[in-house]
A and B are shown apart, each in its own frame.
Chain A
Amino acid sequence: DSGVTQTPKHLITATGQRVTLRCSPRSGDLSVYWYQQSLDQGLQFLIQYYNGEERAKGNILERFSAQQFPDLHSELNLSSLELGDSALYFCASNSGRGSYEQYFGPGTRLTVT
Chain B
Amino acid sequence: GQNIDQPTEMTATEGAIVQINCTYQTSGFNGLFWYQQHAGEAPTFLSYNVLDGLEEKGRFSSFLSRSKGYSYLLLKELQMKDSASYLCAVRSPGSSNTGKLIFGQGTTLQVKP
Binds A, one of B51-59, B66-74, B100-108: B100-108
- Which of B45, B94, B101, B104: most chain A CB closer than 10 A? B101
Kindly provide the distance from the CB of B26 to the nearest chain A CB, expressed in whole angstroms. 12
Q: A100-B31, A104-B43 are in contact. Are A42 and B106 (CB under 8 A)?
A: yes
B27 at the interface (CB under 8 A from A): no
Q: Which residues of B contact A99 (CB under 8 A)?
A: 99
Task: Give the residue of A44, A56, A97, A106 whose beta carbon is less than 8 angstroms from that of B42.
Answer: A106
Count the A residues whose beta carbon is within 8 Å of the partner chain — how many? 30
B48 at the interface (CB under 8 A from A): yes
Report yes or no: A31 in contact with B42, Cβ–Cβ below 8 A: no
Q: Which residues of A contact B98 (CB under 8 A)?
A: 48, 50, 55-56
A58 at the interface (CB under 8 A from B): yes
Q: A90-B42, A104-B43, A106-B42 are in contact. Are A45 and B31 (CB under 8 A)?
A: no
Q: Which residues of B contact A103 (CB under 8 A)?
A: 45
Task: Give the residue of B41, B44, B91 whose beta carbon is less than 8 angstroms from that of A100.
Answer: B91
Kindly provide the distance from the CB of B65 to the nearest chain A CB, expressed in whole angstroms. 19
A-B contact count (CB 8 A): 71
Report yes or no: B97 in contact with A42, Cβ–Cβ below 8 A: no
Q: Which residues of B contact A35 (CB under 8 A)?
A: 103
Task: Give the residue of A100, A104, A109 whose beta carbon is less than 8 angstroms from that of B99.
Answer: A100
Q: A31-B97, A102-B45, A104-B42 are in contact. List 15 more A-B contacts (CB 8 A).
A: A33-B100, A43-B43, A43-B87, A45-B102, A48-B100, A55-B97, A56-B94, A90-B43, A99-B99, A100-B33, A100-B48, A100-B91, A103-B45, A104-B43, A106-B42
Q: List 23 A-B contacts (CB under 8 A).
A: A2-B42, A30-B97, A31-B97, A33-B99, A42-B87, A42-B103, A42-B105, A43-B43, A43-B87, A43-B89, A44-B103, A45-B101, A48-B98, A55-B98, A58-B100, A88-B40, A90-B42, A96-B96, A97-B97, A100-B91, A102-B45, A104-B44, A106-B42
A interface vs B, CB < 8 Å?
2, 30-31, 33, 35, 42-45, 48, 50, 55-56, 58, 88, 90, 94, 96-107, 109
